[in-house]
Copies of this chain bind each other. A is one copy, B any other.
Amino acid sequence: MAVRVGVLGATGAVGQRLIQLLDPHPDFEIAALTASESSAGKSYREAAKWRVDSPIPEDVADITVTATDPDEVPNDVDLLFSSLPSSVGARVEPPFCEEGYVVSSNSSNSRMADDVPLVIPEVNADHLDLLEVQRDERGWDGALVKNPNCSTITFVPTLAALTQFGLEKVHVATLQAVSGAGYDGVTSMEIIDNAIPHIGSEEDKLETESRKLLGAFDGAEVDHHEMAVAASCNRIATLDGHLENVWVEAEEELTPDAAAEAMREYPSLDLRSSPDPLIHVFDEPDRPQPRLDRTLGDGMAVSAGGFRESTFGLQYNCLSHNTIRGAAGASVLNGELLVENGYL
């Protein structure tokens, strides 16, 4: 029987991707859509300017959008997917959790809070039990789980495959797609025949979220990984797919072949949205490429290639689809994990 779910912030770019993924999902049934006050009372068809690359699902189109308020969402909805601006998320997610809703959130607020699990299921599913601590401390019947930023999700699975070598230093340069900034985030005048070597506060997310994700959870708290990460972020004229150049220095010998092998063998999970393989490893030196490889595993796979010995340690490149694996799909996958682990 399908779990009744809702989407907070359903009209935005990631909200639309969430609906695209949830509508055909056999385990979930969309039962509530929220947006800003100005959209409340309208049909979803009217409220959303639908821009995703498949037609708007007809049954969802007729749902009446409500305000993003616990009083407006039916009680028989158990699981909420949240993709709100972080300032809004910070304000409205806690009341939902207090009212008993379980929230799988893509919003950046609270990701680094000590009692909020930041989860990529294939990497650190065990962190989910931090929810016990969260419920204890906050007195919530509901729960709040976060997925990381899209640029973080791209390289962390590849690093997870390499932790066995003793990660010490990581440099990462990103070439990020315009969709990561939202539908109206980057104007055409800014990006045609151009690149922008700055994305506000993005470097910090890569540097800190990655260490929490790869940290050890002892049942009480997450001990962040001791590796040091330095990031530099660029926006380029691609629609979807974040490409990243990574350098890794490890305690133990880490050859290109050993790295590729470790990523090839890195396990997937038995969750519906978890692709197999999780990491698609290329032998060709010029792959992965955003347009060619972003839809691998229905947009949920990470890909890696270009492994070579660098002046300092190992160098390789990786890629993922930033609005599927990096945002909407990440939240859906966390939702599947929440169901699997009995948190609903």
Contacts and interface: CB of A to CB of B under 8 A. Distances in A.
Interface of A: 51, 53, 169, 171, 173, 175, 178-179, 183-198, 207, 228-230, 232, 234, 236-239, 243, 245, 247, 285-292, 295, 305-306, 310-312, 315, 317
A186 B188 CA distance: 6
Contacts of A187: 183-188
Contacts of A288: 197
A230 to B, nearest CB: 4
Given A230-B311, A311-B230, A312-B171, A289 B237 contact: no
A234 B175 contact: yes
Contacts of A290: 193-195
Contacts of A196: 286, 289
Contact of A236 (B195, B295, B315): B195
A295 B195 CA distance: 15
Specify how many copies of this chain sit in the oligomer: 4
25 contacts: A51-B189, A169-B312, A173-B173, A175-B236, A178-B192, A186-B189, A187-B187, A188-B191, A188-B237, A192-B291, A193-B193, A193-B238, A194-B289, A195-B236, A195-B290, A197-B243, A197-B287, A197-B306, A198-B317, A230-B310, A230-B311, A230-B312, A232-B310, A234-B243, A237-B237
A317 B234 CA distance: 10
Contacts of A198: 285-286, 306, 317
Contacts of A179: 189
Nearest to A246: B232
Name the 7 nearest CB pairs between A and B, nearest first. Answer: A173-B173, A198-B286, A230-B311, A232-B245, A194-B291, A197-B317, A178-B188
Contacts of A315: 230, 232
Given A186-B188, A234-B175, A245-B234, A197 B229 contact: no
